[in-house]
Structure 1
Amino acid sequence: MDMAISDEFIWPKGYYTDGVQAGLRDHNDMGWLVSKVPAAAAGTYTTSQFIAAPTKLCKQLIAKNHHLQAIVMNSVIANSCTGAKGWENALAEQQQVADKLEIDPELVGVASTGLIGAQLPMTKIHAGIDQLQLKQNIGVTTAVMTTDTHAKIASAQLMIDGKSVTITGFAKGSGMIHPKMATMLGFVFTDANISGLQLQGLLSQTVDETFNQITVDGDTSTNDMVTVMANGLADNHLLTSDHPDYPTFAQALSGVLAKLAQGIASDGEGATKLVEVNIHHAASHLEGQHAAKAIVGSNLVKAAIFGEDPNWGRIISALGQTNVKIDVDHVAIILNGFKLVEDSLELPFDEAAVKKAMSDHKITIDVDLNAGDATGQAWGCDLTYNYVKINASYRS
């Protein structure tokens, strides 16, 4: 059964969030997420060879301890390609937060997003950390935004062992979105009782089906990261793969991550439409995922969506460039409910009606490969004039 996922920010038991203006810009630019107690932690990270200092720090901490208690975050400056000084600055942030909360520095993660190559203005960063308080302030969601037009928030509530469990997440991402785990940051936190190792396996699997299936512009950032913290304060029995409620928890986590991922795709820089591609009858799930992402990532397809042009040949072109197995004589394409292609041949269709349907905010493309029994799904957005405008003046 489908899990209800809310866009309301619901704090799980034992968490604080805050967002403040540290002076990096004229509105919220720093924030933190803090648990009352150490929390099991898991993470997935950018595959870029140029991994940013804060991302590298979190990766090392979680791999070593599988626990975090706090994450401090900033926007505007990514602290990437900043050498030894950038690493020292990330450690200085970590230490200051640890001192403030009176916890072990190895329980403090750091996350940054923004301009690559610039050093953090540490006087402002230190002052920002001084301002952060243990409160439940939704301002943390805007503190990490860069070119985003709105915050991405998702929550799920469920029962495990008769205990109420909450999973909440927020994310930023608008441009440089092409995760192989893009720029995107995701922070998910729950009061469920689950081990860090169990959480890591579940997160890695779920990210592959959600965040790694979105694309805005085909670029991968140096700072991509998704973290999950689970502090256990819901007091359920430890969640293992044998627990009867484990599938429900996994479904809820997947739903939260999927909603955040779709929110990022929909808010691509300059975007006016969310595009969802569903592949049917692929030879394998992996091939279905690859085919879906190839279509949603095609600039020609994205431009056609923006122009509300039912040019299905661009979908075929994107598909044909992949190495996935296709019955090339029996492909079908459906665009927002209108079947345009059957057996790889165009069907008669009312172009005016299709163009009207393409004026919707959400565009759904279904493609049948007739090559097997597997499926695939990916999300993206249209390509607009504003994308070029935004990125031509990003430093200014």
Structure 2
Amino acid sequence: MNDTATLTRKADFPGLLTPEGAPWHYLDTAATAQKPQAVIDAMSRAMGEDYATVHRGVYSRSAMMTQGYEAARRRVADFIGAQSENEIVFVRGATEAINLVAASWGMTRLTEGDRIVLSTLEHHSNIVPWQMVAERTGAQIDVCPLTEDGCIDLGALEALIGPRTKLVALAHVSNVLGSVLDARKAADLAHSVGAKILLDGCQAAPRMTLDMKALDCDFYAFSGHKLYGPTGIGVLWAREDILDAMPPWQGGGAMIDKVSFEGTTYAPPPQRFEAGTPMITEAIALHAAIDYVAAHDPDKLYEHENGLARKLREELRRTNAVTLFGPEESAGIVSFALQGVHPHDLGTILDEENVAIRAGHHCAQPLMEHLGVPATARASFGLYSDENDIAALMRGIERTRRIFG
């Protein structure tokens, strides 16, 4: 494992202290990441002395804000290895990105009898939109099972897909188990039957290097707030030719070419999918977040968080009352259950120790059913995490065992 001191920058994150100034051991980064001061400052400037609308104003501050907004789009494109900034659509989050694809591409491309392939470990945001499309089009959903250690079973996927498979939609990294998909192999399998593939990249974007060309997927979605940026903004990446063939999802200002009561023509992508006043300040803050993450090298971040997850699993394994879920090697996420203690009770007691974890079904109820539990406790790491956080968690678990013992 890398030296945590070289990666951990707690001082950059004002949210990592309690109101009394004590350390707050934040182990819920998979839900939402804490924000570095650089992001807070960028958003504050954008909302204050730099603020103006974009795209429409002829005055100088509006022009400058437009430059900043579109610079954020270019920065995202560079960060994920997109071929063009025109492949980057700003949305409110990954949930909206997937719903956009479902409503625009899915509702116009899928027909009765077509197959949509999901996996057992998907987040609800990558299940429910496709169920809605299936109900309206007559398409059907197939579910790819998992391997014994909680990874998407690509052997099963190969056997499951066929000529009627039109879309494969999978999590790049599981938000519950931290298991990492061999995304390129999944893309090759989907393309072998002429299907498109969508990847939910919410947990991958903050902790690994992305390259859309290398992944060879068709759609990629992620949220800004998990990437150390603000809430209210996310990214849909799609191949330019696919976006160009998709109809608008929402109507309004900014997404049009010409409007008359006789008919309307639409702007080209990505503007076609960005109706209304955009998330201006959020995009600029996302730019700052990406700069911050890139400066720390996503490959090193992955090694750092993977090493912490491995260390935590070793510590938890010493506690006989703990059941671990998922693979030994995970992307900074560890889910577990403490015998005789509901995860919500554990989370409440840990909070008294200034330790924050997630407790619940993590918007993955089908996975909970597969695991045979109603909920799990989940500890997830960020670039600010270190072994002190693990030690605090273990102290809290021991206290919980004494209380429930």
- The TM-score normalised by the length of structure 2 is 0.25
TM-score, normalising length from structure 1?
A: 0.25
Greater strand fraction, Structure 1 or Structure 2:
1
